[in-house]
Chains A and B, each alone.
Chain A
Amino acid sequence: MRKINPSVKVIVILLSALIISFSPSVSWNVVIIALCFISLLLSGCLSRKVLNVLLPATLASLSIFTALLLRGGGGEEVFESSGNFLVVSSSASNIEDALAVALRIYAYAFLGMLFSFTTDPQAFVYSLMQQCRLDAKFAYGVLAAWNLLPMIKREYDQTKLAILVRGVKLCPWSMKPLFTALVNALHWAENVAMAMESKGFDGNEARTYYIKLQVRYYDFIWAIFMLAVSMAWIWF
């Protein structure tokens, strides 16, 4: 998975996510989940991070599942028939619909992990620039912002500390340190822009690249395979 060209990867994953948005099938969602799981396993990207993603995904899919069951068409009657109301008032097709939508959330989550765990952000931006003709100004702007993120985090922590040192009480959700950090980050944005321009950076000329990324034959094979699997529910 790590070898697949990042632009191809993102386009294919986007397309298959779009296609399964309209899919009513339970089994094909399971197939996609399994496929992503195996790819993650094979590329050695399964770690604790997966749990971080799956926990909210589980909650979201559970919530949609129960919402579709309990608040589905004619939701009022459901409340009155207490006890084992799930069995009483939900027809089989209702449960299947709900299950398909709930599993779809998982499929999204796995497709997302397939992308974000196996792709190097830097390579992704380079590839967008070389394969998708993203404007160099945007590409390097995004990279600058991405690499400034840890500094913004540190700035935020420092501001918070500075406020605490002065003996001002802060509630955990206070916007004050965030605002100060944002002010400093915007100062940096200006300075970085000025620095880039003074080094002669100009997004309009043709560039040469140190790291060259290309689309190869296995990118195509993988793309066709993934899209075929996500479209399979139309025919079967």
Chain B
Amino acid sequence: MKWKLKEILFMAISAAVFGVAYLGMVYLGAALTGILTPSGWGILGYEPFYGVWFMAASFITYVIRKPGIGIIAEMLAALLEVLMGNMFGPIIFISGFIQGLGCEAAFFLTKYKKYNQTTMILSAVGASLFSFIWTGIRQSYWNMSISVVLIILVIRTISAIIFCGFGSRLLADGLGKAGVLKGYAISSDSEDSYGM
């Protein structure tokens, strides 16, 4: 598999921008957690934002369309986030790896051929499921009642579908219309949509 330098820089810069967004989401999530904590629902504080944390993987895979890129991109965004000072520290490398893996699973199942809305939604669900298992281990979900755990899973999946399934795709198509994605795999696949 040959990587073009251009693709690597594209990935690195988008991962950097997503890293900033991720860090912002951590603080937003913390704020919501603070509001919800007195009622005991604080654990849900981060869930509505979870979709944003999967966006690097799905967005960059959607643009560059190479096997394995989702995992690398997500870990790269995690790396940059750690360097900027994320409170969860290097452990989010592992989170990044697992989320990227979940995202990647859907593209793997379609053999890296189909990059349509359905695949994007599938990859969002994949990322949500994989990360759910991982946070389950870290926060001992088996000690909580089943309804709370289910609520967590549902909110996280909905958030993932909104941000990754639709958001990433809209973002990539918008950037494509702005003309900055020429020369990446995305624009050779859909030439008719914006006449390249």
Give the interface of A toward B (CB within 8 A).
10, 13-14, 17-18, 21-22, 49, 52-57, 59-60, 62-64, 66-76, 94, 97-98, 101, 104-105, 108-117, 121, 124, 137-138, 141-142, 144-146, 148-149, 152, 179, 181-183, 185-190, 192-194, 196-197, 201, 203
Contacts and interface: CB of A to CB of B under 8 A. Distances in A.
A116 B26 contact: no
Interface of B: 3-6, 8-17, 20, 26-27, 29-30, 33-34, 36-38, 40-43, 45-46, 76, 79-80, 82-91, 93-94, 137-140, 143-145, 147-148, 171, 174-175, 178, 180-181, 183
A17 B89 CA distance: 9
A190 B147 CA distance: 49
Contact of A112 (B16, B87, B145, B178): B87
Given A145-B12, A186-B13, A115 B6 contact: no
Contacts, number: 206
Given A189-B13, A190-B183, 19 more contacts: A59-B42, A66-B38, A66-B43, A71-B144, A71-B148, A74-B145, A97-B140, A98-B143, A104-B138, A110-B89, A112-B89, A138-B8, A142-B12, A142-B80, A152-B17, A183-B178, A189-B10, A193-B8, A194-B6
Given A66-B42, A179-B174, A201 B5 contact: yes
Overall SS of chain A's interface? helix
B83 A116 contact: yes
Overall SS of chain B's interface? helix
Given A10-B90, A75-B148, A185 B17 contact: yes
Most chain A beta-carbon contacts within 10 A, residue among B6, B26, B93: B6
A67 to B, nearest CB: 4
Contacts of A141: 5, 8-9, 11-12
Nearest to B81: A116
A148 B9 CA distance: 11
Q: Which 6 A-B pairs have the closest CB atoms?
A: A112-B89, A63-B42, A56-B30, A70-B40, A145-B12, A67-B43
Contact of B175 (A54, A108, A183): A183
A205 B37 CA distance: 54
Contacts of A68: 140, 143-144
A21 B41 CA distance: 22
B12 A187 contact: no
Contacts of B4: 193
Given A64-B42, A115-B82, A145-B16, A53 B145 contact: no
A142 B148 contact: no
B96 to A, nearest CB: 12
